[in-house]
Amino acid sequence: MKATEALQAHTKYLWFNTKNRRDYVRITDEVAQFCQESGIQEGFILVSAMHITAGVYVNDWENGLIHDIDEWLEKIAPVNPGYQHHKTGEDNGDAHLKRILINHQVMIPVTEGKLDLGPWEQIFYAEFDGQRKKRVILKALGI
């Protein structure tokens, strides 16, 4: 870093209230817009779901693949009334497990003021216990 370049940090929140309990929302454009708003030229943007039943991931934007991801998650962490978590009165044990599998955040590089994604990479918000208001934090760090 040059002496004249100062590290910058910018924050924004995206809010979601999905119609379905499980949903996958492409947020690449919103993150790219935030990147431009932040003014950073070189650095990173953290994209992190701030709820324990939602996640963020990077992959291809293709309906068949999104269906396959959802089906894969359901096989590994099915909706199941037998989860120990449900003894607390909750019914979303599968959503917590799916979030662990997808992960809760991704770090996106910024190069020359733009998201530095691969040719097919897109950013997604994954909701596993929706139909209520939740948020994702965007945190840009760079110069």
CATH number for the domain including 21? 2.60.120.460
pLDDT higher than threshold 90 for residue 81: no
Structural domain includes residue 136? yes
Dihedral pair phi/psi, residue 44, rounded to 5°: -145, 155
Chain segment 55-77, per-residue pLDDT in tens: 999 999 999 999 999 999 999 99
Structural domain includes residue 127? yes
Angle between helices 63-76 and 93-102 in degrees, nearest 10: 120
Query: pLDDT value at position 3?
Result: 61
Q: How far is CA 120 from the centre of its chain?
A: 17
Give the residue numbers spanning the domain of 58: 8-142
Percent of the chain residues topping a pLDDT of 70: 97
pLDDT higher than threshold 90 for residue 28: yes
Structural domain includes residue 1? no
| Amino acid at site 16 | F
Structural domain includes residue 3? no
Domain count, the chain: 1
Structural domain includes residue 94? yes
| pTM for this entry | 0.94
What average pLDDT does range 25-47 have in this prediction?
Answer: 98
Structural domain includes residue 69? yes
Structural domain includes residue 58? yes
* Assigned token pair, 30: 């919103």
Dihedral pair phi/psi, residue 40, rounded to 5°: -70, 145
